[in-house]
Amino acid sequence: MRLHRNLCFAVIDGLHLIFNEGEYADKVVQQLLKRDKRWGSRDRGFVAETVYQIVRYKRLYAEIADVKEPFDRDNLWRIFAVWATLKGISLPDWKYFTATPTRKIKGRFDELSKTRKLRESIPDWMDELGLKELGENQWTKEIAKQNEQADVILRVNTLKTTKKDLQLKLESEDIETEFLPNHPSALKLKERANVFKTEAFKNGWFEVQDASSQLVADFLDVKPGMKVVDVCAGAGGKTLHLASLMENKGQIIAMDIYESKLKKLKVRARRNGVHNIELKAIENSKPIKKLHGKADRLLIDAPCSGLGVLRRNPDAKWKLQPEFIDNIKKTQSEVLDQYSKMVKNGGKMVYATCSILPSENEKQVEAFLKTETGSDFKLVKDKKILAHKSGFDGFYMALLEKN
Ligand SMILES: C[S@@+](CC[C@H](N)C(=O)[O-])C[C@H]1O[C@@H](n2cnc3c(N)ncnc32)[C@H](O)[C@@H]1O
């Protein structure tokens, strides 16, 4: 591979924004890709993948490059040189790479890779937490898998088309996909591509949604005509799936504490041809109390550490703090207690997270079932998904029924 100067400059600028200015990697990459209209898909792929890979391995590469935060531009070039050397790319004779110690880099890599937290490039506290929660064997495999690039998975919008027709339509736009066993609405891209540019996307034929995430709406066992509350709806990935499973019939009340997220859902719902969603921002407890005992089905897609989706958000490794996880666990038990009251007798709810930590998952459900509110519920089934076993995002979902 030959390095192109303007692409490498874009990578360095992006790393500066992410590492030194605290910006989110996905937003930075989105911006970088708009920089030069002449860039083809390979150039764009290089910029995006290199930024993500260096964010993923920040700790390891910085340690090998022997640089400390905050990184100045020379430091960032040294980190870049480590990435390139380990990838087997021969460095051009640019001033940034003079005297790059190629052999030393490889030796340091072999040495540091013996220690999991350096090899997988995670903070000490995260390694300790993962080890405590999942044990040596599972954690070692899971954190390694969480460092791999995730596949692009689509969920077909069955309100508008079928999986087969979507596959054919994408094929006509040079995008090859395959079916995934046990994921009835999923298509996996054989190669990465910008699917948002396609006619099929603009027509609302699909959404991008990981295969594990697609199992959550299925788990809730909704039927057309039901009254369903999606109380942590965000921008509505799962709300839209619920709407298509309900064939646009019945009512979905999508709620979130952030109105800005619900506004995004509104746009997506229009594109998807979904008509049965009502949006409600949660500004106080009133809209919740009004729904007490009214919902046939409730989805609590709870806020969480996101430790199951590090493949997609590698910068979360550096942004997450242990205190945040402690606080989010309190929120999880509060939302379980308060929102479960919306379920009517005989109704069902799903509690889900994109975390792999038992303390955010089955332990939360166990604790809830022991509370006064929880004593009305029984656990019907739950599913723990680890990325190293499934190949998809780490997720948890529990189905509970109100007696
Ligand atoms: C895992 S995300 C939801 C993702 C979304 N369901 C989807 O499928 O695209 C969790 C959501 O919970 C919201 N949230 C956080 N605290 C909340 C609370 N106390 N009540 C309701 N929603 C909350 C966040 O704003 C966030 O959108």
pLDDT tens-digit readout, 97-114: 988 899 999 999 999 999
Closest Cα to atom 12, ligand 1: which residue?
232
> How far does the centroid of ligand 1 lie from the alpha carbon of residue 339, in Å?
12
Active-site residue identified among 8, 232, 304, 354? 354
Q: Where in the chain is the domain with CATH 3.40.50.150?
A: 214-402
304 as an active site residue: the answer is no
> How far does the centroid of ligand 1 lie from the alpha carbon of residue 324, in Å?
15
Which single residue is written with the structure tokens 């077909």? 156
Closest Cα to atom 17, ligand 1: which residue?
257
Cβ proximity of 385 and 206 under 8 Å: no
> How far does the centroid of ligand 1 lie from the alpha carbon of residue 196, in Å?
24
**What pLDDT score was predicted for residue 167?**
98
CA-to-CA separations, 96 to 11, 40, 48, 100, 394, in angstroms, rounded: 14, 25, 21, 9, 39
pLDDT < 70 positions in the chain: none
* Substitution site in 256, 279, 305, 361 for ligand 1 pocket (most atoms within 8 Å of beta carbon): 256
CATH class as words, domain 214-402: alpha beta
> How far does the centroid of ligand 1 lie from the alpha carbon of residue 364, in Å?
17
Does 234 contact ligand 1 (Cβ within 6 A)? Answer: yes
> How far does the centroid of ligand 1 lie from the alpha carbon of residue 55, in Å?
25
**What pLDDT score was predicted for residue 1?**
87
Residue set of the binding site for S-adenosyl-L-methionine: 256, 301
Q: Where in the chain is the domain with CATH 3.30.70.1170?
A: 153-208
Please write down the HEC assignment for all residues of the chain.
CCCCHHHHHHHHHHHHHHHHCCCCHHHHHHHHCCCCCCCCHHHHHHHHHHHHHHHHCHHHHHHHHCCCCCCCHHHHHHHHHHHHHHCCCCCCCCHHHCCCCHHHHHHHHHHHCCCHHHHCCCCHHHHHHHHHHHHHHHHHHHHHHCCCCCCCEEEECCCCCCHHHHHHHHHHCCCCEEECCCCCCEEEECCCCCHHHCHHHHCCCEEECCCCCHHHHHHCCCCCCCEEEECCCCCCHHHHHHHHHCCCCCEEEEEECCHHHHHHHHHHHHHHCCCCEEEEECCCCHHHHHCCCCEEEEEEECCCCCCCCCCCCCCHHHHCCHHHHHHHHHHHHHHHHHHHHHEEEEEEEEEEECCCCHHHCHHHHHHHHCCCCHHHEEEEEEEEECHHHHCCCCEEEEEEEEC
| Distance spanning both ends of the chain, measured CA to CA | 62
Q: Furthest-apart CA pair in the chain: how many Å?
A: 72
Measure the CA angle with vertex 185, ends 179 and 187; round to 5°.
35
Does 217 contact ligand 1 (Cβ within 6 A)? Answer: no
Does 58 contact ligand 1 (Cβ within 6 A)? Answer: no
Task: Decide: residue 386, CB within 10 A, 0-12 exposed, 13-18 middle, 19+ buried.
Answer: buried
ipTM above 0.90, yes or no: yes
Residue set of the binding site: 256, 301
Does 360 contact ligand 1 (Cβ within 6 A)? Answer: no
Cβ proximity of 157 and 207 under 8 Å: yes
* Substitution site in 253, 257, 268, 336 for ligand 1 pocket (most atoms within 8 Å of beta carbon): 257
Cβ proximity of 210 and 238 under 8 Å: no
- If one looks up domain 153-208 in CATH, what number appears? 3.30.70.1170
Give residues with Cβ within 8 angstroms of 348, minimum separation 6. 220, 221, 296, 297, 298, 380, 399, 400, 401, 402
pTM over 0.95: yes
CA neighbor of 234 nearest in space, from 204, 268, 202: 268
Report the nearest atom of ligand 1 relative to the CA of 234: 27
Pairing label, strands 251-256, 206-208: unpaired
**What pLDDT score was predicted for residue 215?**
98
Angle, helices 41-56 vs 58-65, to 10°: value is 80
Which residues, listed in sequence order, are joined to residue 399 by a DSSP beta bridge? Answer: 350, 381
* Substitution site in 215, 230, 232, 258 for ligand 1 pocket (most atoms within 8 Å of beta carbon): 232
For the stretch 220-269, pLDDT in tens is 999 999 999 999 999 999 999 999 999 999 999 999 999 999 999 999 99
Distance in angstroms (rounded) separating the CA atoms of residues 305 and 198: 33
